[in-house]
Each structure stands twice: as C-alpha cells, then as structure tokens.
Structure 1
C-alpha cells in the first residue's frame, strides 16, 4: 500500500441533509469484560484482574466490543501508547463513523486526550512518545513511514481546551493558515465563510481588523474553530472545548458542534457527561487502572450509541461512571 499521499474528499463545500446514524455491527471481543450481573460480580472481577493487565500477551484481545461502521473515518487496531516506558493507553480497538459527533468520556488519566492526539499525530511532538498497534485514516496507516504528519494535520483540525487565537487581527487569524498553505482563492470570501460556519460572522464582521485576543472567551473559541475550518479539514478534533467557558458560551459552541457535523466528522473529549448527551451521536467510555509499576493507564470499556451508554450501559464500570458513583 502506498502511503506517500493521503487522498481525502473535501466535503466542506456541499450542504447536505442530515443522514441517519451509520449502521453498527458489534462483535464481542472478550469473555472477560465485567458485565452488569450482580450474581457473578466476584467471578467477573477476578476474571478482569487476570486479563486486563498491560503485560498480557500481545495477541490477547483487549477488553472491549468492536463496532464496525460503513466507511469509517478512523480505525485503531490494538493501539497502545507509551511515554518513555510508561504505558498511557492500552490496546484500543475502535472505529469512528463519518459526519457524526463522537464523544470520549471518562475520569482524568484514562487516555482520552492521548487518543485524539494520535488521530492527527500531535503526540509526535512529544519526544518520549511511541505507540504500538495501528491507526488508520480511510484505510491509510497514519503511522506509515512515508506519511507526512504535517499533511495529516491539514486534514484533521484540532481545537484545544483553552482558546488560543494568534496575536493577530481577527481577519489574519483566519487568513494566515490559508496564506502559508498557498491558498489561491479569495481570502475575503474564505474569512467570511469560515466565520459564518463558526457562527461568529454577525458578531465580528465590523471589527475584522481588531486583535483576536480582544474577543470574549466564547468568541475566541469559535474563532479557533473558524481557523480550523478555514483549512478545509475533513475531521475536527476538540479537546474539552468548553471547559473554560461560561454556560452561555458553552451553549453556543454546542449548537455549533451540532451544525458542524453536517460537513465534518467531529470527535470531542469532555468531562461533562450532560454535554456528551446533548451533542454526541456515539460515546466511548474510557477508564483507568494501575499497572504493576504503579502508573495508571487508560483503556476502552464500552462504546455505543450515546443513548445506550447513558440509559442502558452493558458494563458495570460504565453504569457506575454515568450515574456519578465515581469520576
């Protein structure tokens, strides 16, 4: 397979009707996963302890169900992430559907941010990072030796927890990335369309020359989303995008996320479970446990339709987390 180029269809220019959720095929991947069965609680607990340790044989299947989507955007196979010798994320198998919102939830230290940073290779910037397993983007191995990480990031945008506009004008925050990537179209039109997609145009159209840092927190975050949209990605990753925002700004960003899935695949990390129920079509619950060396590592517990995760989870740990018993 030739990994020198990643071919991606640009879907951002077309308006489409909301499509039904992709079909889901579920294959139970391990008999050791602890189900919500009080009568077998001790037996299941013992079984999990024997099988969930990070030093288990590499050929063992991880403790999770695998869901297959039609035309999945991302697919991980036995993905484990290390920082130096420290395991951060263990044996994740999952697929991300196109043009849906997928939320990653779970307690701190369970590898949610580590996972989405694998999707656009931002972890490469950490010297001690290395991974095992595979990450596919439309059946292209993102970690193939000939894949250009910079080109990957142009197609997979990122919005961070803290709004980080450039110390430039609102206009230049949008135009700068396009300009350095040799954009040959009308920059004024690009800026306007990007701000409209981020639901910010009506608020800033008369002050485009003002510094982006002068905006409110919520406006800054939407400016960062507009900046990501301007590069015409296929995927937008969001790492706790509302954690530093007030409720009104949070509502605007959530409404924006709902609109963005018309044109983009959106993956969001959130500690706010109510937010996941409001914006996500699918939800993946991650948990963490302590390894032999004393460090905590994350693993995928359960992944399903959001309604299923919050109203009828199949795993005891999921039920305890979404009901507020821990985390």
Structure 2
C-alpha cells in the first residue's frame, strides 16, 4: 500500500523502488532526493511543469542516462529487488526487460515486419517469428490495419500508427515494464485516444510508467500519479523534485500538498 506521506511512498509490491535518488548532468543537479515505488501491473503517470525532472527520472529506469556524457545517478534504484546500477548489471539486458517508447515515433527504416522482428532477433528470440510479430501487433491494436502490408516501410504509416508500431516493437522484446515519454504529444486526438485505450489493455500484462504534460490524460490512464516541480538555483538554473505521489484520484481530488492542488487546478504550469 502507498503510505500517506509524500516523502516515503512505500508500496509493498514494488517492481521498481527509487530511494533517495539525485541525478546530475556534469556538476549541475537536475533532480534531487527522489523516493518512490512503482507497483506491478499498474500505470504510473509523472506530471509537472517543463524542466522538473520527469523524463530524467524516467530515463533512469532503463539507464538511458548512461548514454548522456557527464550524467550520473546517486542513490539507489532497484528492479525486482536488484540494484540496477550494480556493476554486474548489463544495461542492454536491462533494457530488454524495461522497454521504452519515445515522444516522437521513431520506427526503424525497415518494413513493418522487420521493425518488430529486429529487436527480438537481436535479443536471441528462438520462437516462431511470424507468431511474435502478429501477437505484438495485435497487442498494440495495429494488426488489423497492417496485416496486408507487413513488407511495406514502417515510415509509410501515419503518426499514430507509427507510435503504435513503436509500442509493438517494445512489446516484442517481451519486457516487464514499458516506459513512455510523452507518447501522445505529437499525435492527433483520435490517435491519442487509441494509445490511451491501448495503455488500459497493456497494464494487464505490463507495468507502465508514462510522462505526460496532459493532466486529463494522466487522470484517465493512470492508477498512481507523481507530481514533480522545480525550483530556481542560485546559478539561474532549475532543479526538479518530487512534491507528491499517491493514487491518481487522491492527487486530482484531494492532494496533500498545496502546490499539487495549484498545479492540477491549472493555477500554474
């Protein structure tokens, strides 16, 4: 269960546990002292104004920040009880268990079929590839739209279809967690609705963490919501921090912190 305190946020069945995590880019502190637990088979939304560290924390969960020169993470993040920043942990293997869908759809310049098969093949999949491709596209609610053009380029699809293709690609490597960094920000309302419906379906099998600037979207799709904010630094920059984390209905209807209430009511942000 989630505690009533926004500073501890302890969930008994946490698949990812964040303990006193701060993230630096070079000498600049980007996010400070964050602690929260991600429950399994739930949707967790990260909301907050630009520059508050939502995406920075999200990228920590599959070590994408490792790819940014000068980035470092202090504190502890565990995945199923194991420190994911332990030197013995292979980041590539970790990313096969914690997939990611980015803000802008980024299909490979390959056929629809190969967009799905490529990652699975790289990860050593030995099963029936045709079945995996079909299953992944079905789970992404895309199969009926593309089943007759699997040899065509993934880049020929519409923006919304491309994003669902990227979700199918993430599913194909059989992850346990799917990270989504503003997956609907470049999509039209109809495509956004399809992705939101898809998120509802996927949480039956996956844990999903989504960063969104759309508070209505967070309230529609998530079970838990984390509100981040940022404060100015003496050097003129900003440092992000977690204000409050709780069940989504609590965050939107009865938050504990005044700053959360102001943000979700539209008074700033």
TM-score interval w.r.t. the shorter chain? over 0.9
**Structure 1 residue 177 corresponds to structure 2 residue 83:** no
The equivalent of 2:52 in structure 1 is 110
Select which of 219, 225, 231 maps to 1:289. Answer: 231
> Structure 2 residue aligned with 1:319, among 236, 258, 261?
261
Query: 2: distance between equivalents of 1:201 and 1:286?
Result: 37
CA contact (8 A) 2:24 2:72 kept: yes
Encode CA deviations 1:151-191: one digit per residue, 9 max, x unaligned. 10000000000000000000000001111222111000000
Q: Quick one: which of 28, 31, 35 aligns to 1:86? A: 28
Paired residues in the alignment total 269
Q: State the 1:139 CA deviation.
A: 1.1
Contact map agreement 2:25 2:72 (CA 8 A) in 1: yes
Runs of 4+ in 1 over 2 A off after TM superposition: 23-26
What is the RMSD computed on CA atoms of the aligned residues? Answer: 0.8
Tell me the equivalent position of 1:25.
Answer: 3
* Structure 1 residue 161 corresponds to structure 2 residue 161: no
**1:150-229 matched pairs, under 5 angstroms:** 150-229=92-171
1:71 touches 1:138 (CA, 8 Å); kept in 2?
A: no
Distance of 1:202 and 1:215 partners within structure 2: 13
Distance 2:23 2:122 in 1: 32
Q: Residues of 1 paired with 2:173 and 2:47: CA distance?
A: 28
1:282–1:236 distance in 2 versus 1, CA, 3 Å: same
Structure 2 length-normalised TM: 0.98
Q: Secondary structure at the match of 2:125?
A: coil
TM normalised by structure 1 equals 0.81
* Partner SS state of residue 55, structure 2: helix
Distance in 2 (CA, whole Å) between partners of 1:181 and 1:318 is 41
Q: Report the equivalent of 1:260.
A: 202
Structure 1 residue ranges without an equivalent (≥5): 1-22, 29-63
Residue 25 of structure 1 and its aligned partner are, at CA, apart by 2.9
Matched, 1:270 2:212: yes
Unaligned runs of 5+ in 2: none
1:77 is aligned to 2:19: yes
For residues 165 and 210 of structure 1, what CA distance do their matches in structure 2 show?
A: 12
Looking at structure 1, the residues matched to 159 and 180 of structure 2 have their Cα atoms a distance apart, in angstroms, of 16
Are the aligned partners of 2:23 and 2:71 in contact in 1 as well (CA < 8 Å)? yes
After superposition, give the CA deviation of every residue in 1:234-275 in whole Å (9 maximum; x if it has no partner): 000000000000000000000000000000000000000000
Instruction: Note the C-alpha offset of 1:293.
Output: 2.2
Paired position in structure 2 for 1:127: 69
Conserved? CA contact 1:283–1:305, under 8 Å = yes
Aligned equivalents of 2:190 and 2:130: distance in 1?
29
Q: In structure 2, how many angstroms separate the alpha carbons of the residues matched to 1:78 and 1:201? A: 42
**What is the rounded CA distance, in whole Å, between the counterparts of 2:174 and 2:73 in structure 1?**
28
User: Matched residues in 1 for 2:108 and 2:39: separation?
Assistant: 32
